[in-house]
Amino acid sequence: MPVIREKREYGSVGPVGVVRMNTGEVEMYQRIADANQQLTNVAIDLTTKFSKRAGAERAEQVDATKITSINPKTSKPEALDGLGVLLAMGNAEAQAYERVVAERFQQSIESEIKQKASEVALRFENDPYSSEKYEEQMISYLDSMVEGSKDKGKASS
> Quick one: pLDDT at residue 146?
78
> Quick one: pLDDT at residue 37?
94
Letter string b/e over residues 73-92, b meaning 16 or more CB atoms within 10 A of that residue's CB:
eeebbbbbeeeeebeebeeb
The residue extents of the domains of the chain are 35-146
**What's the sign of the alpha-carbon dihedral 22, 25, 29, 34?**
positive
> Quick one: pLDDT at residue 85?
62
Residue 44 burial class via C-beta count within 10 angstroms: exposed 0-12, middle 13-18, buried 19 and up: exposed
> Quick one: pLDDT at residue 12?
61
> Quick one: pLDDT at residue 150?
67
Letter string b/e over residues 19-36, b meaning 16 or more CB atoms within 10 A of that residue's CB:
eeeeeeeeeeeeeeeeee
Closest by Cα among 76, 148, 136, 72 to 112: 148
> Quick one: pLDDT at residue 97?
86
Q: Which residues neighbour 66 within 8 Å (Cβ) at sequence distance 6 or greater? A: 77, 78, 79
Q: Which residues of the chain have pLDDT under 50?
A: none
- Inter-residue contact 70 to 154 (CB < 8 Å): no
pTM above 0.75, yes or no: no
